[in-house]
């Protein structure tokens, strides 16, 4: 099939590459000329494991191309994916201006085409948005509007595209469902056929529920810290219950990224607009916002303040295997520690350049050991393997003081304490 993917961010580019890998002919559209030129050269503007080699392979096979011109490619497209950004607006609600602009431009071109098109909303949008877009195309009988939300995990996005946990298709026409089934013919996964409204809610509800699990464990970790319990053991015992499961039970310095903070806030604001309340999610959001502050307060208690102390930050991206720093806890840590007067040195295998644009006065180094040299304390912010799998004897030799603050509960707490380190995790008492 011929696909047009409008928007080449994390979702759009991964979607384009994964469908090209399945043998479809895909054209990615973006308004940023520099990005399109980079993609045409086989260079990915984002870091995602396996993405760039597959991008290059698809370009060589000519199953994938990129352009800035929507007009040149709409007429030949069977399926048109809308993957533009829907960031949080100043009111916390999803900002749909980029999506609306894309829809307005797209309608001009599909009206001039006699070909049957399926317009797929892949962007995360407030409930009811896809129906409003469908109403815009209502007079164009050869255009079907489908909601097909993404459930990609950054760091595993390409794998999740090829081996999804489920495929959700929101549509009101059998013709559209048949085309979507043909599109996904090579993918084996449970399929949910439903309304566009339900599909939109499934996306928001999924992210909000996962965020809830994280904030629950973080709040429980605070209590464990006070009571002398160990949140890691508690999580293990909880996760063995099949009704709960082990996923997303890790305590830490909070969640970040492009989805959980934005989508949780958008769902809260959507409820408010409809005179409803999601008080549980409001608490989830507030716990997450305060988690870094709670962690820093425990640090300050441990080493009697951080002013003029050299602190190594290990990891800057919001999670491993991505260069995404949107809503990353590292940014809040940097703000708080700089305010407290700490001297910061940072290491991240991928994301340092992005953070440097925001905080150019930090010292950025190329290895975790360079960050740890003469440090009075170190903080594990992101559990990259480079930051977790360390030579602890070398670490102890290089640090001015062997003080470790484990913001992801990924370091071997018992071993470190036995070997002379001062160790503080998130609700751990190993």
pLDDT in tens, 398-429: 999 999 999 999 999 999 999 999 999 999 98
Helix (H/G/I), strand (E/B), else coil: 311: strand
Shared domain for 307 and 211, answered yes or no, is yes
Residue 140: pLDDT over 90: no
Nearest to 247 by CA among 238, 256, 255: 238
Reported as a pLDDT band with limits 50, 70 and 90, residue 174 is: very high
Reported as a pLDDT band with limits 50, 70 and 90, residue 324 is: very high
Residue 12: pLDDT over 80: yes
* The domain boundary residue, chosen from 157, 172, 194: 194
Shared domain for 258 and 130, answered yes or no, is no
**Helices (DSSP H) in 25-83: which residue ranges?**
33-40, 51-61, 71-74
Count the domains in the chain. Answer: 2
Quick check: is 199 in a domain? no
The residue length of the chain stands at 430
* The domain boundary residue, chosen from 136, 168, 194: 194
Give 265-285 pLDDT, tens digit per residue. Answer: 999 999 999 999 999 999 999
Shared domain for 133 and 234, answered yes or no, is no
* The domain boundary residue, chosen from 173, 194, 215: 194
Neighbours of 303 (CB within 10 A): 16
Shared domain for 320 and 408, answered yes or no, is yes
User: What tokens appear for 360 in the block?
Assistant: 């150019």
Nearest to 84 by CA among 162, 161, 30: 30
Q: What is the mean pLDDT of residues 202-228?
A: 97
Shared domain for 107 and 251, answered yes or no, is no
DSSP state, residue 249: -
Return the H-helix or E-strand segment holding 309.
Answer: none
Shared domain for 211 and 294, answered yes or no, is yes
Residues paired with 94 in a beta bridge: 88
Q: What is the pTM of this model?
A: 0.94
Quick check: is 391 in a domain? yes
Nearest to 250 by CA among 150, 326, 320, 163: 320
Output the pLDDT for position 112: 83
Q: How far is CA 6 from CA 28, 125, 171, 344, in A?
A: 6, 15, 20, 40
Shared domain for 304 and 392, answered yes or no, is yes
d(CA 147, CA 144): 10
Give 22-78 pLDDT, tens digit per residue. Answer: 999 999 999 999 999 999 999 999 999 999 999 999 999 999 999 999 999 999 999
Reported as a pLDDT band with limits 50, 70 and 90, residue 84 is: very high
Output the pLDDT for position 44: 96
Evaluate whether 22 touches 186 at the Cβ level (below 8 Å): yes
Reported as a pLDDT band with limits 50, 70 and 90, residue 326 is: very high
Shared domain for 150 and 220, answered yes or no, is no
Shared domain for 276 and 156, answered yes or no, is no
Give 179-198 pLDDT, tens digit per residue. Answer: 999 999 999 999 999 999 99
pLDDT cut 90: percent of the chain above it = 95
d(CA 410, CA 368): 15
d(CA 269, CA 276): 9
Give 119-134 pLDDT, tens digit per residue. Answer: 999 999 999 999 999 9
Residue 317: pLDDT over 80: yes
Per 3-state DSSP, the chain is made up of helix, strand and coil in percentages (nearest 5) of 45, 15, 40
d(CA 124, CA 204): 8
Output the pLDDT for position 227: 97
Measured between its terminal Cα atoms, the distance across the chain in Å is 55
pLDDT cut 70: percent of the chain above it = 100
Parallel, antiparallel, or unpaired: how do β-strands 2-6 and 79-82 relate? parallel
Shared domain for 267 and 155, answered yes or no, is no
d(CA 127, CA 269): 11
Question: Active-site residue 387, yes or no?
Answer: no
CATH number at residue 380: 3.40.50.720
User: Domain range holding 169?
Assistant: 2-194
Residue 430: pLDDT over 80: no
> Which residues does 370 contact at the CB level (< 8 Å), separation at least 6?
345, 347
Helix (H/G/I), strand (E/B), else coil: 146: strand
Shared domain for 236 and 186, answered yes or no, is no
């Amino acid at each position: 099939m011929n696909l047009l993917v409008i928007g080449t961010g994390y979702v759009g580019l991964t979607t384009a590459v994964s469908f090209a890998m399945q043998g479809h002919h895909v054209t990615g559209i973006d308004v940023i000329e520099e990005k399109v030129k980079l993609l045409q050269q086989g260079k990915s503007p984002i870091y995602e494991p396996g993405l760039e080699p597959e991008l290059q392979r698809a370009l060589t096979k000519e199953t994938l191309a990129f352009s800035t011109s929507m007009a040149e490619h709409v007429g030949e497209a069977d399926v048109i994916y809308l993957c533009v950004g829907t960031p949080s607006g100043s009111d916390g609600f999803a900002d749909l201006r980029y999506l609306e602009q894309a829809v307005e431009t797209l309608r001009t071109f599909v009206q001039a085409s006699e070909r049957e098109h399926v317009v797929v909303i892949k962007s995360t949008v407030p409930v009811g948005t896809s129906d409003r877009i469908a109403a815009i195309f209502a007079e164009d009988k050869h255009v079907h509007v489908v909601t097909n939300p993404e459930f990609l995990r950054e760091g595993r996005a390409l794998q999740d595209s090829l081996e999804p946990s489920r495929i959700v298709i929101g549509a009101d026409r059998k013709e559209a469902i048949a085309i979507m089934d043909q599109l996904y013919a090579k993918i084996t996964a449970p399929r949910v056929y439903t309304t566009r409204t339900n599909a939109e809610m499934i996306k928001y509800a999924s992210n909000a529920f996962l965020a809830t699990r994280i904030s629950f464990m973080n709040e429980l970790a605070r209590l464990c810290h006070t009571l002398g319990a160990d949140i890691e053991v508690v999580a293990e015992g909880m996760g063995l219950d099949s009704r709960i499961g082990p996923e997303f039970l890790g305590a830490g310095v909070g969640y970040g990224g492009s989805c959980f903070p934005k989508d949780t806030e958008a769902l809260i604001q959507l409820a408010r607009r409809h005179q409803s309340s999601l008080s549980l999610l409001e608490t989830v959001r507030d716990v997450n916002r305060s988690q870094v502050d709670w962690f820093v307060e425990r640090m300050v208690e441990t080493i009697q303040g951080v002013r003029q102390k050299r602190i190594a930050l290990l990891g800057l991206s919001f999670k491993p295997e991505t260069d995404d720093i949107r809503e990353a806890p590292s940014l809040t840590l940097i703000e708080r520690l700089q305010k407290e007067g700490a001297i910061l040195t940072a290491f991240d295998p991928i994301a340092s350049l992005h953070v440097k644009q925001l905080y150019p006065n930090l010292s950025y180094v190329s290895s975790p050991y360079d960050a740890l040299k003469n440090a009075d304390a170190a903080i594990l912010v992101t559990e990259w393997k480079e930051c977790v799998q360390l030579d602890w004897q070398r670490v102890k030799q290089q640090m001015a003081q062997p003080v470790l603050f484990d913001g992801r509960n990924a370091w071997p707490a018992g071993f470190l304490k036995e070997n002379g380190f001062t160790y503080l995790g998130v609700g751990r008492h190993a």
